[in-house]
Amino acid sequence: MLDIGLLRERFQQRYGIHPSAIVRAPGRVNLIGEHTDYNDGFVFPVAIDRATYIAARSRSDQIVRVVSSDLNEEDAFSIDHIERSKRPWHNYVRGVVMALRAAGHPLTGADLLIASDVPRGAGLSSSAALEVAVGYAFQTLNHLNILGEELALLAQGAENTFVGVQCGIMDQLIAVFGRADHALLIDCRDLSYRPVPLPSSVAVVVCDSHIPRTLAASAYNQRRQECNAAVQLLQQWHPGIRALRDVSEDQFAAHSDALPEPVRSRARHVVSENRRTLQGAAALERGDVAAFGRLMNESHASLRDDYQVSLPDIDLLASTAQRLAGCYGSRLTGAGFGGCTVSLVERSEVETFSRDLVQAYRHATGRTATIYVCRASDGVGRAVDNAGPQG
Ligand code: GLA
């Protein structure tokens, strides 16, 4: 957790007054249910104990000033006239403010100071954490009544239209609704969710491969198109389906031969991943971590072979982890083409597991992976400061 006192101090130094609110929104790791959210399907993420923090105070004019404490950079714009910036991080803030305005929420200007301990570009949703934190900061300062779903949708909309990334809704939803010590089974069609407690004897171990995710954006959009193509073709036999979420494994098997590659394999991943996600959540609910782990391993194989979003070095991380003592299951997490794996590991084995995984990866690739043992955390809210009350 970041030092809230320090954040407050930096705000005071920069703006000459103390902040009136400090909010936080977490990053996430998805346990299972990958590339299903934009197919109206099911996902099973946890919010992690790393977050983006914003110290904030209202202004009496329409100007928004933003300091990124981590990048040591600033931005300033007027709420009445928001344009795209060349600096990507500016656009997350500007995009969310624009989305709030477009939704009809009355806003005044604000001074903001942002700091985060969510690793950037690692596939742990640092962008969704920033978007949701910005939305919540403005909601708090302007005393707006915005439901969690709306906040998540506004943040996603900002990323889709203003930043230009066609992401699904998973990352923003978990940043809003995450619950300590739980994963959430989210239905990405109606946005309902069910919290499932994580057994205290197992740890969520994230391993960052440090492979730059250069291909991620273009491949992501291409996968989305392939899924849409599958829906259109399958509608010949099942006119009622709106998304791959509506296709059962039996229906798929009956018509898969008629689908061209790679559309067939892409659809097979999504249809089977939805089933694995529902089975996985049910397995954890009855305390069967071993069954959950096997589904994670199957999910990885499907992402590697059918969805083709893995890379050889990520496969190495997952397969090495799967063989190590105390590991129930391991898989690529997030969009793919680099980023992180997630493993469920017996708590007593975490230290040896982490050491051996990093060692094997370094030996094979020359790269040093970073391990994050994550604790499932609450979603967006006011940051708690143990040192004293907020200003
Ligand atoms: C990224 C997107 C999410 C989701 C995952 C893949 O994280 O932002 O919406 O599609 O990839 O599961």
User: Identity (one letter) of the amino acid at 107?
Assistant: L
* Atom number, ligand 1, closest to the C-alpha of residue 36: 12
| pLDDT tens over the chain, length 391 residues | 899 999 999 999 999 999 999 999 999 999 999 999 999 999 999 999 999 999 999 999 999 999 999 999 999 999 999 999 999 999 999 999 999 999 999 999 999 999 999 999 899 999 999 999 999 999 999 999 999 999 999 999 999 999 888 999 999 999 999 999 999 999 999 999 999 999 999 999 999 999 987 767 789 999 999 999 999 999 999 999 999 999 999 999 999 999 999 999 999 999 999 999 999 999 999 999 999 999 999 999 999 999 999 999 999 999 999 999 999 999 999 999 999 999 999 999 999 999 999 999 999 999 999 999 999 999 999 997 655 444 3
- This model's pTM is above 0.85: yes
For helices 88-102 and 148-157, what crossing angle results, to 10°?
130
User: Identity (one letter) of the amino acid at 188?
Assistant: C
Query: Is 196 within 8 Å of 281 (Cβ atoms)?
Result: yes
Residue of 37, 176, 221, 244 with the most ligand 1 atoms within 8 Å of its CB, for mutation = 37
* Atom number, ligand 1, closest to the C-alpha of residue 34: 12
Q: Give start-end residues of each CATH 3.30.230.10 domain in the chain.
A: 4-196+377-385
Whether 208 is a known active-site residue: answer no
User: Identity (one letter) of the amino acid at 228?
Assistant: N
Query: Is 53 within 8 Å of 2 (Cβ atoms)?
Result: yes
**Ramachandran region, residue 326 (left: φ > 0; alpha: ψ -120 to 50; beta: rest):** left
Residue of 31, 39, 167, 174 with the most ligand 1 atoms within 8 Å of its CB, for mutation = 167
Task: Tell the CATH topology of 198-374.
Answer: Alpha-Beta Plaits (3.30.70)
* Atom number, ligand 1, closest to the C-alpha of residue 169: 9
Residue 97: name the closest of 63, 125, 143 by CA: 63
**Is residue 216 in contact with ligand 1, taking CB distance under 6 Å?**
no
Task: Tell the CATH topology of 4-196+377-385.
Answer: Ribosomal Protein S5; domain 2 (3.30.230)
**Is residue 334 in contact with ligand 1, taking CB distance under 6 Å?**
yes
For residue 207, list its beta bridge partners. Answer: 341, 371
**How close is the Cα of 35 to the center of ligand 1, in Å?**
6
**Is residue 335 in contact with ligand 1, taking CB distance under 6 Å?**
yes
Nearest residue CA, atom 11 of ligand 1? Answer: 335
**Ramachandran region, residue 370 (left: φ > 0; alpha: ψ -120 to 50; beta: rest):** beta
Q: Give start-end residues of each CATH 3.30.70.890 domain in the chain.
A: 198-374
Query: Is 345 within 8 Å of 205 (Cβ atoms)?
Result: yes
**Is residue 168 in contact with ligand 1, taking CB distance under 6 Å?**
yes
Q: What stretches of the chain adopt beta strand conformation (E)?
A: 21-30, 42-43, 45-58, 63-68, 73-78, 110-116, 182-187, 193-197, 202-208, 327-333, 340-346, 370-374, 381-382
Query: Is 353 within 8 Å of 142 (Cβ atoms)?
Result: no
DSSP secondary-structure letter at 161?
I
